[in-house]
Structure 1
Amino acid sequence: MESATVLIITIGAFLIAVTGISIYTSFGPPSKELSDPFEDHED
């Protein structure tokens, strides 16, 4: 493979991994530990 192809595949895999981790953190079991700053400071 050419080096440009390897670089594109590496960057694509990294972006997919970051997106997957972000979705898991936002909607998966770890989301129970997240706090809503708007609910914390209601007037």
Structure 2
Amino acid sequence: METTSPALSVAIGVLAVLFGMTGFGVYQSFGPPSKGLDDPFDDHDD
């Protein structure tokens, strides 16, 4: 069985964390938790 290089393992780990953080951000922005977010531009009347 061939062994994988450590650089490939680190790169896959970094990509997994990056995709996880991106998915969590999209979930927070557009998912059910977004109901609790406030829009500061709507709070100020000109």
User: What number of residue pairs does the alignment pair up?
Assistant: 43
Q: Which runs of 5+ in 2 are unaligned?
A: none
Report the TM-score when normalising by structure 1. Answer: 0.93
Report the equivalent of 1:11: 14
> What CA RMSD, in Å, does the superposition of the two structures yield over aligned residues?
0.6
For each residue in 1:1-43, what CA deviation from the matched residue of structure 2 results, as whole angstroms up to 9, or x when unmatched? Answer: 1110011000000010001000000000000000000001122
Which has the larger share of helix?
1
For the pair shown, which has the larger CA radius of gyration, 1 or 2?
2
Question: Structure 1 residue aligned with 2:26, among 14, 23, 28?
Answer: 23
Give me the identity figure in percent. Answer: 49
CA distance in 1, matches of 2:43, 2:21: 28
What CA distance in whole angstroms lies between the structure 2 residues aligned with 1:12 and 1:6? 10
Q: TM-score, normalised by structure 2?
A: 0.88
Gaps of 5+ in 1: none
